[in-house]
Every structure is written in C-alpha cells, then in structure tokens.
C-alpha cells in the first residue's frame, strides 16, 4: 500500500520552499518505488497556483479530494501571512495534525503551524528574518535560531528556502534510511559549494 507525502501549495508560496523538497522527494519516489511512497501537491481548490516570484504550478488535488497523507509538508513565502488570521485554513491545519503522522514545514510555513497551535512548548525554526515573529506568535516555542532544521519527532520545521532540500533529505533518512538518502543526494548532485 502506497504511503502519500503531500506538499501544500497556495498563492504566493515561495518557489524553492515547495519545489526544492519536490525535487528531492519525487526523485526518491520515482526511482525507488519499492520504498512504497508517492508525493503530490495539493491546494485548497486544486489546479493552478501562482507562486511568489511568478512561477505557476499545478496542484494535483484539492484539500477535499486529497489522499490520506503519511507526511504533510507546508512551505512558506509571503502567502503565509494572511493565513495566520485565516480561521478556515488554521482549522484545516489542526485537522491534518490529528490524522497525519508527520507534519513538516519549510521557512515561514512554521508560522502557520504556530498560529494553529501545533508548536506550543516545542522546539522549532523558520526563516532567519521571521525567528522573532515565530516567538511572538507563541512565546512557549523554543525558537532554534541556528539550526538548519529541527526534528521533534512528529513535527519537523526547516529554516528558510533552501533548507527545505536538507529537510527533505532528512525525511528520506527517516523513512528509508541513510543509504537511500545518499543515493538521492548523489543523483540530484546536491553538494553545496557557494561561490562567495
């Protein structure tokens, strides 16, 4: 039985927050189907979603027709800001928490989790420019300022933008082992060596 990983899309989502993990996870699930996972994107109504910098991507399903997920990944971007006060969106996030075994976020996706109450009394991180905001939303959060991602068992939060790639590789370690994660990392040739 296939286990599903869902990446949430919404208007003004930061491209790399979603597409970076998509590249990692779809490479894994596509080349190693024997591991038993599949990845897809979902949005509130399904269909096309315009990202923060103009890229338009397709959500394969809506919230209503999405499969049950083993892992849910919530990216960040400017589109998260109105969600912090969107009662319907926050209630949907809370419902997912009750049925999805592993909730993950990238960048300011963790702000939405905080606003929904998922990070209360837990360690978490976010984009460096939003670390103070994370603590303001819920002062009980143990804000980890210097960590690339924070694995707290059933919730994983990643720092900004490109940190989602590292977190996705960590997910593969958890779900299929370090050898598989190394294979995927080699295939996508992810070996950061910044020129500056």
Residues recognised as catalytic = 107
Angle value at C-alpha 119, between 154 and 52, nearest 5 degrees:
95
According to DSSP, the β-strands at 56-59 and 47-50 are antiparallel
């Amino acid at each position: 039985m296939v286990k599903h990983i869902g990446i949430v899309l919404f208007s003004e989502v930061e491209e790399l927050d979603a597409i970076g993990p998509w590249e990692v996870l779809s490479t894994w699930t596509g080349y190693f189907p024997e591991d038993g996972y599949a990845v897809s994107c979902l949005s509130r109504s399904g269909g096309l979603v315009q990202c923060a910098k103009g890229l338009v991507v397709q959500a394969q399903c809506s919230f209503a027709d999405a499969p049950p997920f083993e892992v849910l990944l919530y990216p960040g971007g400017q589109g998260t800001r109105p969600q912090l006060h969107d009662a319907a969106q926050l209630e949907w996030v809370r419902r997912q928490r009750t049925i999805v075994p592993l909730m993950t976020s990238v960048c300011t996706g963790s702000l939405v989790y905080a606003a929904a109450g998922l990070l209360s009394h837990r360690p978490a991180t976010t984009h460096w420019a939003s670390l103070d905001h994370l603590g303001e939303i819920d002062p009980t959060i143990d804000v980890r300022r210097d960590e690339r991602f924070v694995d707290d068992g059933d919730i994983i939060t990643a720092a900004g933008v490109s940190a989602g790639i590292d977190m996705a590789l960590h997910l593969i370690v958890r779900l299929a082992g370090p050898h598989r994660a190394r294979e995927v990392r080699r295939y996508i040739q992810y070996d950061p060596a910044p020129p500056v």
